[in-house]
Structure 1
Amino acid sequence: MFIETKNLTKKFGGLAAVNKVDFHIEKGKINAIIGPNGAGKSTFFNLISGFHRPSSGTVLFKGTDITKLPANKIAGLGISRTFQTTSLFEQSTVLDNVIVGHRLRTKSNLFDAILRTKRLKREEKACRDKAMEVIEIVGLTHASDKMVASISQEEKKRTAIALALATDPEIIFLDEPAAGINSDETQGLINLIKQLNQRGLTICLIEHKMSMIMNLADHIMVLNYGEKIAEGTPKEISSNDDVIKAYLGGSASA
């Protein structure tokens, strides 16, 4: 398995936000996690990406236990993510924001910065080149020199994806990429996600727009109150009685 969780659990006080979840992600596929508000979806992402340490259970990446690794080490292995609330430097340009992502792959230190060494200059150029490459991939070349504070919400979503891509990931976790954007913009984002997947990138996303998930995902897991209640193809999930009861047939808000 590409990524696998075994009995993954996270407790906050007496509350189990994620409770003994077994899940696997196949390389090259588009995976999705759905469920009502408070189901534990973002917490699950945080456990895999190292932002939270599990209370118990295991996270494996290509067969290697990464459960206790910090977020920067996990990112270095090729696991990247975006956040539900877009976290960008608002008073910097799109380009400068994305350049930060490729810093993960550089080796320059304070000594290099003080002396402006050849290594520093070489790596600065590599970061800029990589940033321009992924900005073009996400369709933001026209906005590369704009301040993030001045661009649209949809463009900020694309900037966040470009930042994640700049880390050279093998898999990217997208936390509600279509939140706060309209239907036309959502379709554009669907096209981008498909394009990234066709380039060989494995994708796992949390999303509330069910039509988007059902038309995009190869594999879906459903969480409810921190527990996995279903897993399968979109067709299997849409006809699952437990899912219909907990999510699809209830409130449209998740």
Structure 2
Amino acid sequence: MFLETRKLTKSFGGLTAVKEVDFSVEKGKINAIIGPNGAGKSTFFNLISGVHKPTSGQIKFRGEDITKLPANKIAKLGMARTFQTTSLFENATIIENVMVGHRLRTKSNLFDAVFNTKRLRNEERESYNKALEVLEFVGLLDVKGQLAANISQEEKKRTAIALALATEPEIVFLDEPTAGINPEETAALAQLIKKMGESGITVCLIEHKMQMVMSLAEKIMVLNYGEKIAEGTPEEIQKNEQVIKAYLGGSVHA
């Protein structure tokens, strides 16, 4: 299996945010995690990406146990993520923000920076070219020179995705990518996520907009109070009584 968790658990003091969750992701597919607010979805992402260490359980990526690895090493293995709150360098340009992502793949150090070595110059050019490539992919090439502070919320979401793609990931975790944007922008971002899947990138997203999830995802996991209550295709999830009771109600088609 490409990515899997076994009995993944995280407790904060007396609160168990994620409880013995078994989850698997197939390579090249779009996966979604849904559930009410406070269900443990972002904590689950934080465990997989190395932001938090699990209390117990195991995480495997391409057969390798990554449970105890720090976030930077997990990123180098080919995982990238965005956060609910888009965090960019507001006084830097869009392309400068995205170049930061590709520096994960470079080897220059302080010596190179002080003496402006050939390696540094070559890698700067590589990072710039990679940033151009991913900005074209996400549809932001025309605003590459603008400051991050001056672009729209939807463009900031695309920039965050571009930054993640610049790390050359095999799997991207998107934490509520359409939060705070209107239906038209949501539809456009859904198309971008679909395009990511079609280009061979494995996607796993947390999302509250059910219509978007049901149209995009090939597999959905439902969390409630930190526990997995269902997993399956969109069709299976929409018919699952436990899911309807816990979360979906009449909002599946909303």
TM range (shorter): over 0.9
Residue 202 of structure 2 is matched in structure 1 by 202
Superposition TM-score, scaled by structure 2 size: 0.98
Q: Secondary structure at the match of 2:193?
A: helix
Q: Which runs of 4+ in 1 moved over 3 A?
A: none
Which residue number in structure 1 is paired with residue 135 of structure 2?
135
Q: Once the 2 structures are TM-superposed, how far is the Cα of residue 91 of structure 1 from its aligned partner? A: 1.0
Tell me how far apart the structure 2 counterparts of residues 9 and 79 of structure 1 sit (CA, whole Å). 20
Match for residue 27 of structure 1? 27
Aligned CA-pair RMSD: 1.0
Could you tell me which amino acid in structure 2 is paired with residue 132 of structure 1?
L
Matches within 5 A, 1:65-80: 65-80=65-80
What residue ranges of structure 1 are gaps of 5+ in the alignment?
none
- Once the 2 structures are TM-superposed, how far is the Cα of residue 97 of structure 1 from its aligned partner? 0.3
User: For residues 62 and 209 of structure 2, what CA distance do their matches in structure 1 show?
Assistant: 30
Identify the residue that residue 146 of structure 1 maps to in structure 2.
146
Matched with 1:106 is 106
The AA in structure 1 aligned to 2:249 is G
Structure 2 CA distance, aligned partners of 1:107 and 1:221?
A: 38
Aligned partners of 1:18 and 1:68: how far apart in 2?
17
Aligned positions of 1:1-150 closer than 5 A:
1-150=1-150
What is the CA–CA distance in structure 1 between the aligned matches of 2:16 and 2:2, rounded to whole Å?
Answer: 26
Cα-to-partner distance string for 1:40-91 (whole Å, 9 max, x where unaligned): 0000000000000000000000111000000000000000000001011111
Instruction: Give the drift of 1:251.
Output: 7.9
Residue 181 of structure 1 deviates from its aligned partner by 0.6
Deviations 1:109-162 (A, max 9, x none): 111111111100000000000001100100001110011111000000000000
The one-letter amino acid paired with 1:163 is L
Instruction: State the Cα distance separating 1:26 from its structure 2 match.
Output: 0.3
Correspondence for 1:175: 175
Q: Which residue of 2 aligns with 1:248?
A: 248
TM-score by length of 1: 0.98
SS in 2 for 1:203: strand
Conservation of the 8 A alpha-carbon contact between 2:210 and 2:251: no
AA aligned opposite 1:80: A
Q: C-alpha deviations, 1:163-202, integer Å up to 9, x for none?
A: 0000000000000000011111111001111111111000
- Once residues 37 and 195 of structure 2 are traced to their aligned partners in structure 1, the CA distance between those partners, rounded to angstroms, is 29
| Mapped partners of 1:87, 1:50: distance in 2 | 18
Distance 1:208 1:239 in 2: 18
- Unaligned runs of 5+ residues in structure 2 are none
Aligned residues of 2:76 and 2:104 also touching (Cα < 8 A): yes
Structure 2 SS opposite 1:28: coil
2:229 counterpart of 1:229: yes
Matched residues, number? 252
Q: How far, CA to CA, are the matches of 1:198 and 1:251 in structure 2? A: 28
What SS class does the counterpart of residue 187 from structure 1 fall into? helix
Contact map agreement 2:219 2:232 (CA 8 A) in 1: yes
